[in-house]
Chains A and B, each alone.
Chain A
C-alpha cells in the first residue's frame, strides 16, 4: 500500500508547538468587537453577510518580508487516508503538500500564464503528436541529485501505469509511453497517440510532479521549495526550507506546517486565536468579521472555477435540446450569485474556461432569465408542466444553495424541481457521472483541457453524456492546429455548439476566498482557483 502511505513517520526531531504568549497582549476594543462578531456568526451559523462581493482582493501591501521563521497554514479537509505521494492527491491538504514538495514540467501561475518550471521548454514538432521536452540545467532534487530525462520518463510512466492509474492518468493517458524516449540527459521526446496542442497544459499540472526514478513515497523527494520533514495523515505535515531551490531568494520561511482542519469553525478559530497564520476557504459569512479585526485579511481571487448544473443530453427530458435551452433561460444568474455565493462570483454564459485565449463566452449574447421564452420552448417540446429531479450534494461551497435557488426560479416557468439532497458518499457512489440532472464543480482549465476531462465521448468525467459529432470533429481538428488564430476559429465554433445545445448550465465563475494574518505577507490571489495563491508558500514570509 505504498500509495496511500498512511503511516505517520518523522524525519529528524519534531519541535514542540511554539509557545504562545497571548497574556502579553492587552485586549483592545477592536478585539472585543471582533469577538462579538465572530461569536454571532458561529452561534447563528452565519447571519452576517458581507455587503457585496468585489475586487478587494487582498493584494499584499508593500510590507517587506524578512527571511526565517515558521509559517503555519490551516488547510481544508483531510483525514486518515491523506497521501503525500506526488501522484496520488485526493484531499485539499494533499494538494497543498504537493505544491511544496514537487514541481511539474510547467504550471499555470497565479495570472494563468503557463510558466516553465522543471522544463526549460516544451516544443511540438510540425504535427503536435511529438513533443520535445528540454529540462532546465540546474534543477536539483531534495536528495541532491540533478533532474534528468530518466526521471521525467519514470514520472510519466508512474502516472499512467494502467495497473495503478494515478490522479493525472485521466488527463495524459494519450501519451504513448513506450515510444517516448530520452534523447540526452536533458532532453525527452514524448510521443502522443493523438496530436494535442494542449499537451504542455495537460502535463503541466500540480499532480504530475517530477520525481526521481528511485522515488519512494515514504521518503518523499521532489524539486519543490520545501523538503519533507514529517507527515501524519489527517493531522499535520511539516517541511523545511530547501536551500538549493532554483528560484533565487525563495522560500522565505525556514519551517512550514500544513495542518488539516475538516471543520470550518475550528479552522477559523485557529486563525482568530493566532495558532495559524493563514487558512484556506474562509466561509463567505465570515469575511466581514475577519476584516473587522484589523489583524486578519481575506484573500479574494477571481477565478475560472465553475459549479455547473449537469443535464444528461442522451436522456429524457434533456434529449430534446429545447428543454435544455429552457432550463438555461430559467436561471437568474445574478440572483443565484447573490444568494448562493453571497455575491462572490461573476456571471457566466454557459461556457467554461474564461481565461483561455480562445474563450468565446463574451462573443455570444449573454443569456439572461427569460421565463416567457422558457415556457414557450417547453410548450413546443410538449413539456408544459415539466417535473424534474435535481440531485444535489454538499460537495463544494454554494452548490446546495444554488440548487435551492434554481428550484425556486424554475417555478416561474411552471417547472417543478424535486430537489434530492444526498450525502457525498451517495453522490460519488454507483450513480456518479450517470445522474440525469445534477451538479458538479470544476477548477480553472484551458478550453481543450476541460473538453478532454468532461466533454468528449472518452472523457473520464463526461457527466452530461455529450457526444456531438460536429463538436467532436472540431475538437479533433483544433487539437492538431498549432496556429492560435486558426485554432480559436475552430474552438469558437465548438463553443457555439455547446452554447446552443450543451448539457451544462454554467451560471457563474466563483471567487476563491482565503484568509491570512497581517503578520505574514506575500500571498497573491490566483486565477487558477487554487487556494492561497496556488498554495504559494514559497513567496510568503513574516513581515519585517
Chain B
C-alpha cells in the first residue's frame, strides 16, 4: 500500500515542480528590465543595450527561451546563464555544495540537540530546566533570522569577541569546508532558527505520551526510567517531531538565503539574490526549482519515515 502512496506522492511532487517553474517564469517576466539593462545600469544607452542583447541572446521570444530551458532540464541540462553565458550547472555547482554543507552541518547539530532538549523539557516538566528551555525556544522563535545573525556577529566577530570571521572570504573556487571557521556562525544561526519549533513539538508530544496508560504500565512493570523514556515513550512521541523537522529543514532552504546574504556565504542563496538583481532568468529558475525540489523531497522523506516508524500506518490495509 505505502508503495502506491509513494508513487502517487512522487507524481504530485513532479507536478508541483513544474507548476513552480511556470510561476517563477511568469514572475520573472513581470520584473521590469532584462539582463542587458540590469547589467549595464546607468550606462544603458540604446546602442549598448542592443549590442549586449545580441551577445546574450535576449532577442529570442520568451516562450522560446522557456521551451528551450524546460527541454534542457528534462535532459539534465540546466541551461546557460543569461548574465555570464556560462553553463548554469557549472556556475552554481560550488555554491550548491557550499549550501548543502552548511545545511547538513546545521541539521546534524539541530536535530539531535532539539530532540534531546524536547525530551528533557518534557521529563522535567514544570521545573526550572523546562522553563528555561521553553522560554528560550519561544524567544528565539520570535526573532527573524537576520536579527539572530547580526547578534551572533556582534558577539563573536566584531564587538564583544573577535574569534570568528564576520563574513566568509573564500578564494576562487574554494569550497567552504576548506575554511571550516567560515561555516560556524551561519550554521549556528540556522540551528538557532530551526531548533525552537522542533523542541516545542518534541516536548508537547512527549508530555502527551508520558501521560498515556502504556507508559504507566511500563513503569508499573518496574522498567528503568531510561528504558521507559527511550524504548517506549520516545518512538511513539517522535512522529510529529519528524514532520516538524522536515518542515524546518525545508524552511532552511529558504531561510538560508537571508543568512547567506548577511554572512556573505557563497551558497545558492547568494546566487539567487545576485541572479534576481541581474535578471539572470536561467539561474533564478534553476535555483528556485532546486529549492522547490528540496522542499518536496523533504516532505516526501518525512512521510516515508513517519510511515515506517508508525506501525499503524505501516501495516494499514495489509
Contact = CB atoms under 8 A, between A and B. Distances in A.
Contacts of A34: 159
Nearest to B263: A266
A544 interface: no
Most chain B beta-carbon neighbours within 10 Å: one of A31, A230, A428: A428
A8 B172 contact: yes
A265 B262 contact: yes
Contacts of B47: 165, 169, 460
A236 B278 contact: no
A423 B172 CA distance: 31
A235 B278 CA distance: 15
Nearest to B264: A266
A395 B44 CA distance: 13
A262 B159 contact: no
Contact of A1 (B45, B85, B169): B85
B150 A43 contact: yes
Given A90-B43, A269-B153, A32 B160 contact: yes
Interface string A159-199: 00001110101100000000000000000000000000000
A235 B266 contact: yes
Most chain A beta-carbon neighbours within 10 Å: one of B55, B169, B179, B279: B169
Nearest to B84: A6
B315 interface: no
Given A20-B165, A275-B167, A90 B172 contact: no
Contacts of B42: 395, 428, 440-441
Given A79-B274, A81-B278, A395-B42, A35 B158 contact: yes
A272 B39 CA distance: 30
Contacts of B280: 80-81
A429 B37 contact: yes
A468 interface: no
A331 interface: no
B187 to A, nearest CB: 17
Q: Which 9 A-B pairs have the closest CB atoms?
A: A35-B159, A6-B84, A22-B162, A273-B166, A425-B33, A232-B172, A272-B158, A429-B33, A1-B85
Interface of A: 1, 3-4, 6-10, 14-17, 20, 22-23, 25, 27, 31-32, 34-36, 38-39, 42-43, 72, 79-81, 90, 163-165, 167, 169-170, 230-236, 238, 259, 261-263, 265-266, 269-270, 272-275, 395, 422-426, 428-430, 432-433, 440-441, 460-461
Interface of B: 31-33, 35, 37-45, 47-48, 51, 55, 81, 83-86, 91, 147, 150, 153-154, 157-163, 165-167, 169-174, 178-179, 261-264, 266, 270-271, 273-275, 277-280, 283
Given A38-B158, A261-B264, 6 more contacts: A3-B55, A8-B172, A81-B280, A165-B47, A266-B263, A270-B264
